[in-house]
Homo-oligomer: A and B are copies of this chain.
Amino acid sequence: MITRLSTLFLRTLREDPADAEVPSHRLLVRAGYVRRVAPGIYSWLPLGLRVLRNVEAVVRQEMDAIGGQEILFPALLPREPYEATGRWTEYGANLFRLQDRKGGDYLLGPTHEELLTLTVKGEFSSYKDYPVILYQIQTKYRDEERPRAGILRGREFLMKDSYSFDLSEEGLAQSYRAHRGAYIKIFDRLGLRYVIVSAMSGAMGGSASEEFLAEAETGEDTFVRSTESGYAANVEAVITPAPPELPTDGRPPAQVLDTPNTPTIDTLVEHLNGAGVGRTFTAADTLKNVLVKTCKPGAQQWDLLGIGLPGDREVDMKRLEGSLAPAEVALLDDADFARHPFLIKGYIGPGALAANGVRYLVDPRVVPGTAWATCADLPGHHVVDLVCGRDFIPDGTIEAAEVRAGDPSPDGAGTLVAARGIEIGHIFQLGRKYTDAFGLDALGPDSKPIRITMGCYGIGVSRLVGVIAEQSHDARGLIWPREIAPAHVHVVIAGKDDTVRAAGERLAAELDACGLRVILDDRPASPGVKFADAELIGVPTILVVGRGLASGVVEVKDRATGERTEVPVDGVVAHLQELCTK
C-alpha cells in the first residue's frame, strides 16, 4: 500500500499543543496521529489508527497462540450483574452511568468479569468443557478524575481483556503462566523496556498478581527495584525483610523517663541522647504508634487499630490500605479521641492499647527481642528498653511503613531504588469472587459441582501506542519499532525535477509490489519541510530520492540512529526488502 502525503488526511504541527505535558502526547498530536475531542477522549487520524491496529494485531497473535478465543462484548451494559457483585457502587465516580429511554440503568463497561462469568455459565456445564480462555479487544470506559497525558490515561480507551476459567488452582496457575509468557512476547515484540512487578491483589481478593510496568520518567506508577537482582515490585507489594529475633533474657528492664517538651521523634531522640541512659538513640530506635480505625465490608462499626513502626518511618497510606483491604481504613478524628479517653494524643504506648483491647499490629522490623523507646501512655513521659515479646506482645505484623531507597531488597540481593513506570499489563489470579457471585459450577466426573476459578488479564492497547512513543522518540520526533510503524519505508521525493519525481514514484511502486507498506512524500513542499516531517512521523527507514540520482544513488536513512547510507538506485528495493523483513 502506498500512502501519499499529498492526499493523506494529515497536517503536522510545528508547535506543541498547549495541554501536552509529556513527550508522547506532544509528538502524537504534532505528527497528526491523534486529536483531542474532550478531556481523555481522542480521535485516531489515519496514521495513528494504523499504529493502533498494528499493536492490536501483535496482541491478537499472541493471545491466539496460547489458545485464547476472541469474542466481543458490548460496551453498554445493564446494571444488574454489576449490582450483584457490588461493583455498581464500588466503582464510585469512576463509572459512567446512564439511563435508557425507559429509565433502565446502564453503565459503560470498565471491565467485563460479570458478563463473562454469566456467559460461560450460560454455555458450559460439564468439567469436560474446561479450561477456556476468552478474550476481547474492545473499547472501555472509565471516568478518570484527572485524565492526562493524551492517550496514556484516557476515559475511552482500547483494551485487551481476557478471562480464564479453570477447574482447579493448578489449572489457574497454568492459565496465569500462559498469559505471563504471552505478555512477555507481546511487550518484547513491541520493543518496550519494562519490568514485571509483584502487585497487591488488594480488594480483588485474589492470590497472585503481577503488573507489567513500562519504564518511563513520566509514569504515574511508582515501583522499587533491586540494585543487584531482577527484583521489582509495586511499593504496595514490598515485603519488609524481618531481622532475626533476639533473646529477651538478661536485657535491661524497661524504664519510664520524664521527657518534657518532646512532641516529635526528633525532640525525643535529642532528649534521650542527653538523658544519660548510657547509649545513643536514633529515630530508628523509637517505636511510633499510629492509631487508625478500620471497617470491614458490611460491618456496622469501625474498630480501633494501633500500628507500631520505627520512628524514622512514616505510614504509607497506600501500603496500609493494601494490607487491610477489603476493609476500609481512616485516621481518627477528635470525636474518636473523645470517645476513647485512654488514648492520650501524642503519648499512646503499647500498654494502653493492650489494656483496652485495641488490636495492635507492628512493622515486621519489630521482632521479639528488639528494644524500643516509645510513649508511656502518660503525658510528658516515654519509656526506653521496652522489649518486644517481653514488655509487649503485638497481635501481628503489618506492611504499613514507607519503603525507602536504600532499604534492603526483599530477595536479599542489593538495596531498593525507586523508579517510575506506566502500567501496560496486569495479570491476576482472581479466584472465585465472580464465580461465587453467580454460582458458576461445572459438573464433575463424580457428578458433584466444581466451583470454577478465574483469572483476569489486561493490556491497555491504545495506551501502548502512547507508551511506545514515550520510550521511543527524540527531539525531532517519533521513532517507531518496525513491526508497528505506520509504514515500512518513508520515501521522500527531494527535488522538483521530473527525473527525481519519476524515480521516487517508481521506487515506491516497486517497494509496494514487494509487499512493503510505503509512505510517499509527493507533496510540492521543500526538501527541508519533507525531512522534518519524516523525522516527526517516525517511520524507521527513510528513503531520500534526490540529487544523488544523477550519480545513480539514493540515500537510506535510519531514523533511530541517524545513519545515512548511499545505495545504488538499482539495488535499493532489494536492500530495503531485506532490511524491513529481517
B71–A9 contact, CB under 8 A? Answer: yes
Q: Is A447 part of the contact surface with B, judged by Cβ < 8 Å?
A: no
Please tell me which one of the listed residues B9, B38, B67 contacts residue A134 in the complex, with CB atoms under 8 A apart: B9
Please tell me which one of the listed residues B9, B37, B143 contacts residue A101 in the complex, with CB atoms under 8 A apart: B143
B123–A9 contact, CB under 8 A? Answer: yes
9-residue interface stretch from A40-48, A227-235, A242-250, A253-261:
A40-48
B106–A38 contact, CB under 8 A? Answer: yes
- A9-B69, A123-B11, A124-B11 in contact; A41/B101 too (CB < 8 A)? no
9-residue interface stretch from A92-100, A171-179, A193-201:
A92-100
Contact partners of A117 in chain B: CB under 8 A: none
Contact partners of A96 in chain B: CB under 8 A: 76, 98, 100
Q: Is A208 part of the contact surface with B, judged by Cβ < 8 Å?
A: no
Contact with B along A89-130 (1 / 0, CB 8 A): 000011011101100101010000001000100111000000
- A38-B78, A78-B37, A122-B35 in contact; A72/B52 too (CB < 8 A)? yes
Q: Is A132 part of the contact surface with B, judged by Cβ < 8 Å?
A: yes
A77–B38 contact, CB under 8 A? Answer: yes
- The interface size bin for chain A is 35 or more
A72–B44 contact, CB under 8 A? Answer: yes
Contact partners of A139 in chain B: CB under 8 A: 75, 139
Please tell me which one of the listed residues B7, B38, B122 contacts residue A67 in the complex, with CB atoms under 8 A apart: B7
A101–B11 contact, CB under 8 A? Answer: no
Contact partners of A9 in chain B: CB under 8 A: 69, 71, 123, 132, 134
Contact partners of A145 in chain B: CB under 8 A: 101
B73–A37 contact, CB under 8 A? Answer: yes
Cα–Cα distance between A101 and B69 once the two chains are bound (Å):
35
Q: Is A532 part of the contact surface with B, judged by Cβ < 8 Å?
A: no
Q: Is A463 part of the contact surface with B, judged by Cβ < 8 Å?
A: no
Interface of A, helix, strand, loop or mixed by DSSP: mixed
Contact partners of A71 in chain B: CB under 8 A: 9, 43-46, 49
Contact with B along A372-405 (1 / 0, CB 8 A): 0000000000000000000000000000000000
Q: How far is the CB of A84 from the nearest CB of chain B, in Å?
A: 14
B76–A155 contact, CB under 8 A? Answer: yes
Q: Is A441 part of the contact surface with B, judged by Cβ < 8 Å?
A: no
A35–B143 contact, CB under 8 A? Answer: no
| Complex interface residues of chain A between 22 and 63 (CB less than 8 A to chain B) | 32, 35, 37-38, 41-46, 49, 52
- A46-B70, A71-B43, A155-B76 in contact; A143/B100 too (CB < 8 A)? yes
B78–A43 contact, CB under 8 A? Answer: no
Contact partners of A106 in chain B: CB under 8 A: 38
Closest to A141 in B: B76
Q: How far is the CB of A494 from the nearest CB of chain B, in Å?
A: 20
A35–B72 contact, CB under 8 A? Answer: no
Contact partners of A211 in chain B: CB under 8 A: none
Closest to A4 in B: B67
Cα–Cα distance between A69 and B48 once the two chains are bound (Å):
12
Cα–Cα distance between A96 and B8 once the two chains are bound (Å):
33
Contact partners of A122 in chain B: CB under 8 A: 35
Q: Is A363 part of the contact surface with B, judged by Cβ < 8 Å?
A: no
Q: Is A166 part of the contact surface with B, judged by Cβ < 8 Å?
A: no
Closest to A38 in B: B78
A43–B73 contact, CB under 8 A? Answer: yes
Q: How far is the CB of A63 from the nearest CB of chain B, in Å?
A: 12
Cα–Cα distance between A139 and B124 once the two chains are bound (Å):
29
Q: Is A535 part of the contact surface with B, judged by Cβ < 8 Å?
A: no
Contact with B along A332-371 (1 / 0, CB 8 A): 0000000000000000000000000000000000000000
Q: Is A215 part of the contact surface with B, judged by Cβ < 8 Å?
A: no
Q: Is A285 part of the contact surface with B, judged by Cβ < 8 Å?
A: no
Q: Is A156 part of the contact surface with B, judged by Cβ < 8 Å?
A: yes
Q: Is A252 part of the contact surface with B, judged by Cβ < 8 Å?
A: no
| Residue picked from A100, A119, A141, most chain B C-beta under 10 Å | A100
Cα–Cα distance between A466 and B221 once the two chains are bound (Å):
45
Q: Is A74 part of the contact surface with B, judged by Cβ < 8 Å?
A: yes
Cα–Cα distance between A104 and B123 once the two chains are bound (Å):
40
A35–B119 contact, CB under 8 A? Answer: yes
Contact partners of A67 in chain B: CB under 8 A: 7
Closest to A9 in B: B69
Cα–Cα distance between A132 and B11 once the two chains are bound (Å):
13
A residues at B contact (CB < 8 Å): 7-11, 32, 35, 37-38, 41-46, 49, 52, 67, 69-78, 93-94, 96-98, 100-101, 104, 106, 108, 115, 119, 122-124, 132, 134, 139, 141, 143, 145, 155-156
What are 29 A-B pairs at a CB distance below 8 A?
A9-B123, A9-B132, A10-B123, A11-B123, A37-B115, A38-B76, A38-B77, A38-B104, A38-B106, A41-B76, A41-B77, A41-B78, A42-B74, A43-B74, A44-B73, A46-B69, A46-B70, A49-B71, A49-B72, A75-B75, A75-B139, A75-B156, A76-B96, A76-B155, A93-B101, A97-B98, A98-B98, A100-B155, A139-B139
Closest 7 CB pairs of A and B: A98-B98, A44-B72, A93-B101, A38-B78, A11-B123, A41-B74, A43-B73
Other than the known A38-B106, A44-B72, A46-B69, what 11 A-B pairs have Cβ atoms closer than 8 Å?
A9-B134, A35-B119, A37-B74, A38-B74, A41-B74, A42-B74, A75-B75, A76-B96, A93-B101, A97-B98, A100-B143
